[in-house]
Structure 1
Amino acid sequence: MSRRQRLCCRSTTFGRTGRREEKLAMFSFVHRKNLYREGIFQCSGTASIDQKPEEILSTGQCGCLGYDLTQGNDYEDIFDRLTMAESILGDADDDVKREVTSIICSTPVNDGDHLQASSSLDPSFWPTHPTMERLWMYSILTGHITDFTWPDDDVTVTKPDGTVEVESISLYGETCSGHRGSDVFPFGLLDSDTDGFTIKTGIRGNLDTGNQLTNREALQAFDARSNSLPYVYDTFKWTHCEADGVNFDDAWENAKARGPSSIKSRPAFKEGEVRRPRYSGYEEIKANAQARKANAKGQAAAP
């Protein structure tokens, strides 16, 4: 029995562990897409415009180029990046893992970047997404967001334990726009290029982009403290969350006790200091708490 046959046989590894095939298939839509985004799945050479995707993919021009998936450990670097692969196939042998990796890298199926874009079919999608702006305003007004800078370059971060990491704006650098603060938001936010609605920061549209704004400008516009928009939500209550022990009034009352939020920390239109990394605040608090506990234990153990 070949390895490929073994992968499809319900009497073997997959079949014996219940729904392993189904779980692997459930995440199959994201594997190729993520490998491409991470620079592992690539294409070389050229193709004519009338060639079908499956024809190009079957020629070997595209795949996990530079990786030997017939032997050795090259497959491990790819396998470790496959969503849920370790939890689904963690107890499989190297041959099975290598074959799964090879199939994902070489299959002529062309998924497309929008495959499985079915979130809107989930009933929870609609009450969740429209409230994001309201939650954003709430977070600003209660002082939970203090750093609004949006850089144009990768950010080097030193974590509390001294580890230095780089947060990448985009793996594909200049060829992938949309992630930087200066990139243009692709939707017109003003009615027209000469609309009378002027954002209070003094910008009437954008001379270079018409009625579109950069990401940094859009972030500024949605700052509820600057009155850039002609509205603000009249309530920031989510009573259905109280049943789960989350009361949004707590943060609101604490914010009022601290006094008004300073407009000085509002988003900046121009490139400024790099933003605070998304994880540093929590990890710093956690590290300090652990240090205090260790210090307390040390004092208690001292004669």
Structure 2
Amino acid sequence: KDLWRSGLLECPTACGSDTPATECKCHCPDLEKWIHDEAGPRIMGVADMVDGDKTVNAEGEDLSKVFMRLLCNDYDDMAPQMGDLMNSGAPADPIFWPIHPTVDRLWQWRRINGMTNETWPPASVNYVHGGDCAGHSADDITVFKNLFDSDDRFYTNQELYDLMDPRKEETTDSVFAHFRWGHCQDVGYPVDLLPSNFVARNTDRFTGETADDCDRTDGSAPEGHCPGRKKR
């Protein structure tokens, strides 16, 4: 993805339904030049997938050329679909399925406890070339409407973020039954998954309970946290 955004990876604009995947894939036009110039560390740094300075195996063999060919889909029998759990390609990666549903639970737990910073990042960050990343701004319009009202109006990203705060009983009618991650505790992480120096800076932003109203001693959501609220 980052190679494509940087103009180093080119992808077909269209392929026929009967075109084999191995013949309809992205490629790097300058791959052979990069290999000749030993540009592996620089290119992989752009890809942000492999540490360009750590491409030597235990036997001392430099694998940067292999990594570059993999990143550029250069092998005839490969046509990967990379899902990085951040975009619409995520379901192509099998690890999406055990990880992604847990993100919602982690997100609810962190918001119940308050955030240290909720500043919305600008869409024109350094990984976007030639403009903003459409759809990422706080005020960008989403495809969702009538989830919490009947106004027949599409929500913005910021509105959805605010409406889905798990402490807002008027819009969120359920929370997870518990917030325990025993496997994390087993390897030494704090039971509440919060750093020891954590200080929430935004609890006054929300209506309802503050972080102090949550029972964080065992990582569970207390029955009385949101009266009348269902648990998932």
Deviation digits for residues 92-125 of structure 1, max 9, x if unmatched? Answer: 25xx63465356534454323448521256xxx1
Q: Does 1:190 align with 2:158?
A: no
Work out the CA distance in 2 between the residues paired with 1:228 and 1:75.
Answer: 53
Deviation digits for residues 226-245 of structure 1, max 9, x if unmatched? Answer: 44414243765427365546
Q: Percent identity?
A: 17
CA contact (8 A) 1:137 1:224 kept: yes
Work out the CA distance in 2 between the residues paired with 1:250 and 1:112.
Answer: 34
Larger of the two Rg values belongs to structure: 1
Give the equivalent residue in structure 1 for 2:50. Answer: 83
Of 185, 188, 191, the residue aligned with 1:247 is: 191
Q: Does 1:224 align with 2:194?
A: no
Work out the CA distance in 2 between the residues paired with 1:39 and 1:223.
Answer: 38
Deviation digits for residues 12-63 of structure 1, max 9, x if unmatched? Answer: xxxxxxxxxxxxxxxxxxxxx55334432125xx878549464566xxx941
Of 262, 279, 288, the residue aligned with 2:204 is: 262
- CA gap of 1:217–1:40, structure 2 versus 1, over 3 A, is same
Give the equivalent residue in structure 2 for 1:233. Answer: 175
Listed as ranges, the gaps of 5+ residues in structure 1 are 1-32, 155-166, 192-196, 266-303
Of 93, 106, 111, the residue aligned with 1:117 is: 93
Give the equivalent residue in structure 1 for 2:36. Answer: 71
CA contact (8 A) 1:152 1:182 kept: no
Work out the CA distance in 2 between the residues paired with 1:134 and 1:47.
Answer: 37
**Number of equivalent positions:** 187
Give the equivalent residue in structure 2 for 1:273. Answer: none
TM-score, with structure 2 as normaliser: 0.54
More helix by share: 1
Residues 164-183 of structure 1: matches in 2 within 5 Å?
167-168=125-126, 170-172=127-129, 174=131, 176-183=133-140
- CA gap of 1:87–1:152, structure 2 versus 1, over 3 A, is closer
Deviation digits for residues 68-109 of structure 1, max 9, x if unmatched? Answer: 23522334312444536754535325xx63465356534454
Give the equivalent residue in structure 1 for 2:118. Answer: 148
Listed as ranges, the gaps of 5+ residues in structure 2 are 83-88, 208-232
- CA gap of 1:42–1:67, structure 2 versus 1, over 3 A, is farther
Give the equivalent residue in structure 2 for 1:97. Answer: 64
Work out the CA distance in 1 between the residues paired with 2:81 and 2:194.
Answer: 45
Work out the CA distance in 2 between the residues paired with 1:55 and 1:264.
Answer: 52
The amino acid of 1:218's aligned partner reads: L
Deviation (angstroms), 1:219: 0.5
Deviation (angstroms), 1:223: 1.8
Aligned-residue CA RMSD (Å): 4.5
TM-score, with structure 1 as normaliser: 0.44
Deviation (angstroms), 1:130: 3.9
The amino acid of 1:83's aligned partner reads: V
